[in-house]
Amino acid sequence: MNTPINSRKHLRVDLINEVYFQAGRLKEVRACWSDICESGIFVQTMNPLPVGNQVRLKIRFEADPTLYRAVGIVRHSLSSVGMGIEFTHIHPKASRLIIALADKRETAD
């Protein structure tokens, strides 16, 4: 039996939390993220942005009410589902929180 190979560099953490995103001159949109890792995030939205768009994000984590800023590029866009965004810049504390969540998940598995 073949086991699927996980080609991801970083462990994804499946949670749901709040995120705000904005691209270009578009108004800021409130949405939810459903998974996150050191290199990116999946944002659930009925109207995802096209692949290649640069996005400004404000990300909330359950352990901390602060909104952390990040910038990324849309790498996957699924109509009426959401978009996968690769981080190009992320607040250092947000990065540490993601690593801590991944470590916690890895030890729980």
Residue-wise pLDDT for 9-42, tens only, equals 655 666 789 999 999 998 999 999 999 999 999 9
Contacts of 13 (CB under 8 A, 6+ apart): 35, 36, 37, 98, 101, 102, 105
Residue 77 in any domain: the answer is yes
Residue-wise pLDDT for 45-88, tens only, equals 999 999 999 999 999 988 678 999 999 999 999 999 999 999 99
Residue 18 in any domain: the answer is yes
Residue 74: CATH number of its domain: 2.40.10.220
Residue 8 in any domain: the answer is no
Please give the structure tokens belonging to residue 96.
């540490």
pLDDT at 13: 66
CB 40 within 8 A of CB 21: no
* Domain span holding position 38: 13-108
Task: Specify the number of domains making up the chain.
Answer: 1
**Quick one: what percent of the chain has pLDDT higher than 90?**
62
Residue 32 in any domain: the answer is yes
pLDDT at 102: 82
- In angstroms, the CA 69 to CA 66 distance is 10
